[in-house]
């Protein structure tokens, strides 16, 4: 009995909790049952995200006493109309990029700025019409 109590106290604890971001950035502050600061922020591969202050986030807890925590994601917003299973929509503010299952990439927003080189393999459509170089566009 004494031995079983000793080994259990050193076991890793894991769990999760919802919290509200109090400090934004790559090292976030989150309020769950109390405020925890300097939590690393993790996201899917190839995706960089910083939670905004006031955003509800998922906090993953681990380690011996649950003292090792990280921010793993945020509650999703409503999916745009027509988003199918397996498709990805990345957005911020009034702009977004949608990666469709059929290979189509849709960019939305009123102030899309492209810098550098953009290679397009396939057809380019602007406002639903095929792009024609030199046609005033």
Residues 90-131 pLDDT 10s: 888 778 888 989 988 888 877 767 666 767 788 888 888 998
How far apart CA 49 and CA 22 sit, in angstroms, is: 16
- Residue 13 is predicted with a pLDDT of 62
Specify the domain boundaries for CATH 2.40.50 within the chain: 2-74
How far apart CA 121 and CA 137 sit, in angstroms, is: 19
The arithmetic mean of pLDDT across residues 1-11, rounded, is: 53
Strand (E) positions, the chain? 15-23, 27-31, 35-40, 56-62, 68-74, 88-92, 95-99, 105-108, 125-126, 129-130
Q: What confidence category does residue 74 fall into, taking pLDDT thresholds of 50, 70 and 90?
A: confident
How far apart CA 101 and CA 51 sit, in angstroms, is: 27
- Residue 53 is predicted with a pLDDT of 93
What element of type H or E holds 7? helix 2-9
- Residue 11 is predicted with a pLDDT of 61
Measure the N-to-C terminal CA separation of the chain; round to a whole number of Å: 79
Q: What angle do CA 126, 105, 96 make, to 5 degrees?
A: 90
Q: What is the pLDDT of residues 35-65, one digit of tens each?
A: 999 999 987 766 778 888 999 999 998 877 7
- Residue 29 is predicted with a pLDDT of 94
Domain 2-74 -> CATH class: mainly beta
- Residue 54 is predicted with a pLDDT of 93
């Amino acid at each position: 009995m004494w031995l079983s109590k000793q080994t259990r106290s050193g076991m890793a604890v894991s769990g999760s909790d919802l919290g509200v971001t109090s400090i934004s950035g790559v090292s976030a502050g989150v309020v769950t049952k109390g405020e925890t600061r300097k939590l690393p922020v993790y996201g899917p591969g190839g995706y960089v995200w910083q939670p905004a202050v006031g955003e509800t986030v998922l906090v993953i807890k681990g380690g011996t006493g649950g003292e090792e925590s990280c921010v793993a994601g945020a509650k999703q917003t409503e999916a745009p109309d027509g988003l199918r299973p397996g498709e990805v929509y990345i957005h911020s503010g009034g702009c977004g990029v949608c990666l469709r299952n059929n290979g189509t990439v849709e960019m939305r927003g009123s102030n899309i700025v492209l810098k550098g080189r953009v290679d397009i393999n396939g057809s380019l459509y602007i406002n639903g019409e095929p792009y024609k170089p030199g046609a005033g566009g």
